[in-house]
Amino acid sequence: MLGISAQGYYKHDYASNEADILSASIVLYCLYVRQKECLPKAGCRELYTLCREYFREKFTIGRDRFYNVLRSNSLMLRRTRYRPRTTDSRHGYRLYRDLVNTSPKYTPAGNGRLVVADITYIYTREGFAYLSLVTDAYSRYIVGYCLSRTLDAEGPLKAMYMALETYRAYGISTEGMIHHSDRGVQYASKQYTLHNALAERMNNTLKNGWLFNEGDMDFRQAEEAVSKSVAMYNNARPHRALG
């Protein structure tokens, strides 16, 4: 009566069951990835890439449908409404020439050619803490970091020292390396520029906006979580720019 053969009906029924099983499996795997000890702030694009790698040929849905699965299971990341200001460019320190946003735009050809530095905030039970990050622009590897209670220059300075030690440990030359940051007072201060010659070529902002907790940790716990999160970021997180 409906013009559907028995074979067609059962084939459709089987496909529907397969899709339901895949959706449930995706939800479970994404929950696993989002655990605190893994990648709790993995975004939709990262989850999509990880699921494609994990399920391989069984991953038969497209990106839009994948996002719908996340949305229907409340797995979309919540956006933070309030963002404290971390950049204060109202200072009398020297401003340095931009060596990255040139024409043509500078593109690093290897590790240790260009680092980008920035400060972002995280929530703790004790209030805001400030995370200084130094990232190698070629490999997207976080080579230095420091969590501070204040926005003083000491945090970015410690992160830069760690970055230099990381390069030394891997035998990577930093001669002629470009340091790129915003015009914040921390990076332009005498304490930062006098202690680190690389910082004489800093300018502009590369925000990475990477947060990892919802304010349920104290400062010491946040320090430990930062170390674990950086390790996961450097070793597990997929980067589209790197393929």
**pLDDT tens figures, 211-237:** 455 667 888 888 887 888 788 778 887
Domain span at residue 10 reads 6-72
Q: Are residues 131 and 202 in the same domain?
A: yes
Q: Cα dihedral angle (133, 34, 76, 60), rounded to 10 degrees?
A: 120
Work out the pLDDT band at 124, boundaries 50, 70, 90.
confident
Say yes or no: 236 and 138 in one domain.
Answer: yes
Pick from 50, 19, 20, 49: nearest CA to 33: 50
Instruction: State whether 55 and 137 are in the same domain.
Output: no
pLDDT at 101: 78
Q: What would the pLDDT profile of 12-59 be if each residue is shown by its tens digit?
A: 555 567 778 888 999 999 999 998 888 888 888 899 999 999 999 989
Q: What are phi and psi of 163, to 5 degrees?
A: -60, -45
pLDDT of residue 96: 73
Are residues 213 and 124 located together in one domain of the fold? yes
User: Does 41 map to a domain?
Assistant: yes
One domain for residues 151 and 232: yes
Res 202 pLDDT > 50: no
- For residue 172, which amino acid is it? I
Total count of domains within the chain:
2
Smallest Cα–Cα separation from 118: which of 91, 95, 142, 92? 142
pLDDT in tens, 131-161: 888 999 999 899 999 998 988 888 888 999 9
Specify if 89 maps to a domain: no
Q: Could you tell me if 65 and 120 lie in one domain?
A: no
CB neighbourhood size of 191 (10 A): 13
Q: What is the CATH number of the domain that holds 237?
A: 3.30.420.10
In this structure, are 123 and 208 located in the same domain? Answer: yes
Nearby residues of 160 by Cβ (< 8 Å), 6 or more positions away: 117, 134, 144, 179, 192, 196, 198, 199
Q: 118 near 183, Cβ under 8 Å?
A: no
In the prediction, which pLDDT does 209 show?
32
pLDDT of residue 243: 79
Supply the pTM of this predicted model.
Answer: 0.58
Domain end marker among 21, 45, 72: 72
Compute the C-alpha angle 156/44/86, nearest 5°: 25
